[in-house]
Amino acid sequence: MKNKTLSTWLAFVGGPLGLHRFYLHGLDDLIGWALPIPTALGLYGLMRARGLGVDDPMSWVLIPVLGLVLAGCCLNAIWYGLMAEDRWNARFNAGLGPEAQHAGGSNWLTIIGVIGSLMVGATSLMGALAYGFQRYFEWQIELARQISQ
């Protein structure tokens, strides 16, 4: 029996580690095993930016990867939390008896998870895009200055 509220919170809090995928699809889920890789790369980009400064081109690529992973996991949390109860049960609790019908229901914890996912997901997506594009265009301007001199 798969609980919608737990799935929402696992995607919101543990999504970059693939916890929601393991809960819903089992330990043989390839996406669940692949999610920690871009998360680790993004964290490595943050460490590079802290150690080498924000002028490191590798961090310009890696930090937005982390933001996109966070935004994607938050989008999954929103999708899980807003899914209709009958659709949830048909997809994740198929074949279970009437005792599983309550697992697809929403409550205040589900809605709080959706709201938190919306806030964190939008912030991480906008921050990742703004950081990556700003650093790239600053680099292009600096190259243009060097050429013009």
List the pLDDT tens digit at each of the 149 positions of the chain.
888 999 999 999 999 999 999 999 999 999 999 999 999 999 999 899 888 887 788 888 888 999 999 999 999 999 999 998 888 888 888 776 666 667 677 789 999 999 999 999 999 999 988 988 888 888 889 889 988 87
110: Cα separation from own chain's centroid: 17
What is residue 136's predicted lDDT score, i.e. its pLDDT?
85
What is residue 138's predicted lDDT score, i.e. its pLDDT?
87
Residue 50 structure tokens: 């802290």
Nearest to 72 by CA among 38, 26, 25: 38
Query: DSSP letters of 89-108?
Result: HHHHSTT--GGGGGGG---H
Nearest to 126 by CA among 53, 54, 74: 74
Secondary structure letter of residue 16 according to DSSP: G
Q: Any idea of the CA torsion for 96, 97, 99, 100, to the nearest 10 degrees?
A: 30
CA atoms within 13 A on the CB side of 115: 6
Q: Domain residue spans in the chain? A: 4-148
What is residue 12's predicted lDDT score, i.e. its pLDDT?
95
Contact 61, 54 (CB under 8 A): no
pTM: 0.84
